């Protein structure tokens, strides 16, 4: 049986417990992507609540390809002073601070260009533009530069965003990736962009801690199957990642333009032990095939699911998203045996 209150070590870091705040874009930065006091208060409050690892929301590696209008930016050195204040606020309460770095690819709001591996859109009323090989090389360097800024700002590490049909995820999925060059076709080729980014960051920043978030499974026609998700995880591990954060695409709510295969009534048996749209079972399928720690996440709203996760020993760490938005002291209340006092998330 897993005990989430116990420390875990990886990448020369010791995390005081195994609870994780996953990245969720709050749209609280300035219109130039600079950190505001509101951003700092949000994350510091959750750090006070005794979460072991906080992953700050998807920071834009290029301002043109951010997710929201007031996205946190990590695209320019001018962002570093604010990011430094944010990292310090998180770190002073004992949480390990990571920041997710992202290129929005085929998603994002009110963009001039929706870049992806092929001309397959993800959002309705958008035109997908295949990214050129020259632009791919530029993207690799943008990720390296973003990781360097995160290190300079004092974050303990970065999470590379390879999930949710943003750019790296677009390359990993056969639904969006129809390329015929070295970045398409085989699973290894589809993972090439992510692998190159990991290796380039390693060349510049050495053993700086790196997490990779990926879709381990996609309920989408020609999407990532469970078998391919396991293969992608192994490829990413070999590239030099320190931890895998396993997400998925199951429910159509946030991706209405995608061709889904099943619904809650017809979902595969391996997903049924947890709430519909939870990615926890997917993390459990991947964990036996890799040696690095695995973070599971999805639909954790109260203590009951936390205890089931521990009993099932699904993965090494547990991400709690909306639960921590509703109650930043969610984790502290569980650690103190006050789970009944958790303020619930209301949809």
Question: Which residues are annotated as catalytic?
Answer: 166
Query: Cα(146)–Cα(70) distance, rounded to whole angstroms?
Result: 18
Query: Cα(257)–Cα(220) distance, rounded to whole angstroms?
Result: 10
- In our burial notation (b when 16+ CB lie closer than 10 A, e otherwise), range 286-319 reads bbeebebbbbbbbbbbbbebbeebbebebbbbbb
With a CB cutoff of 8 Å and minimum separation 6, the contacts of 121 are 106, 114, 127, 128, 257
Query: Cα(338)–Cα(168) distance, rounded to whole angstroms?
Result: 40
Through-space distance between the first and last CA atoms of the chain, rounded to whole angstroms? 31
- Only one residue has tokens 């049924």, namely 272
Burial of residue 195 (CB within 10 Å: 0-12, 13-18, 19+) is middle
Q: Which residues pair with 14 in a beta bridge?
A: 9
CB 92 within 8 A of CB 132: no
CB 52 within 8 A of CB 319: no
CB 176 within 8 A of CB 116: yes
Both structure tokens of 168 = 């790296």
């Amino acid at each position: 049986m897993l005990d989430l209150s116990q420390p875990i070590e990886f990448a020369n870091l010791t995390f005081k417990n195994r609870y994780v705040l996953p990245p969720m874009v709050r749209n609280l930065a300035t219109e130039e992507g600079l950190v505001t006091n509101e951003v700092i208060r949000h994350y510091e409050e959750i750090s006070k609540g005794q979460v072991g690892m906080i992953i700050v929301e998807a920071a834009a590696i290029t301002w043109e390809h951010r997710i929201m209008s007031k996205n946190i930016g990590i695209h320019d050195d001018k962002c570093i002073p604010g990011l430094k204040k944010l990292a310090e606020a998180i770190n002073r309460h004992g949480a390990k601070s990571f920041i997710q770095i992202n290129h929005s690819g085929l998603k994002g709001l009110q963009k001039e260009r929706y870049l992806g591996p092929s001309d397959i859109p993800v959002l309705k009323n958008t035109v997908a533009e295949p990214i050129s090989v020259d632009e791919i090389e530029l993207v690799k360097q943008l990720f390296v530069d973003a990781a360097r800024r995160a290190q300079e700002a004092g974050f303990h590490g970065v999470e590379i965003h390879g999930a949710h049909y943003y750019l790296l995820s677009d390359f990993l999925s056969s639904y969006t990736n129809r390329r015929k060059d070295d970045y398409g076709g085989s699973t290894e080729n589809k993972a090439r962009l992510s692998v190159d980014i990991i290796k380039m960051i390693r060349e510049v920043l050495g053993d700086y801690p790196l997490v990779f978030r990926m879709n381990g499974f996609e309920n989408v026609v020609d999407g990532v199957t469970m078998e391919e998700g396991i293969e992608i995880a192994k490829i990413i591990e070999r590239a030099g990642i320190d931890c895998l954060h396993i997400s998925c695409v199951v429910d159509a709510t946030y991706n209405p333009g995608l061709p889904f295969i099943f619904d809650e009534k017809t979902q595969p048996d391996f997903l049924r032990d947890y709430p519909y749209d939870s990615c926890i079972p997917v993390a459990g399928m991947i964990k036996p095939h890799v040696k690095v720690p695995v973070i599971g996440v999805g639909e954790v709203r109260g203590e009951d699911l936390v205890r089931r996760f521990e009993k099932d020993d699904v993965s090494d760490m547990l991400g709690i998203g909306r639960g921590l938005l509703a109650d930043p002291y969610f984790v502290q209340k569980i650690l103190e045996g006050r789970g009944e006092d958790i303020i619930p998330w209301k949809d």
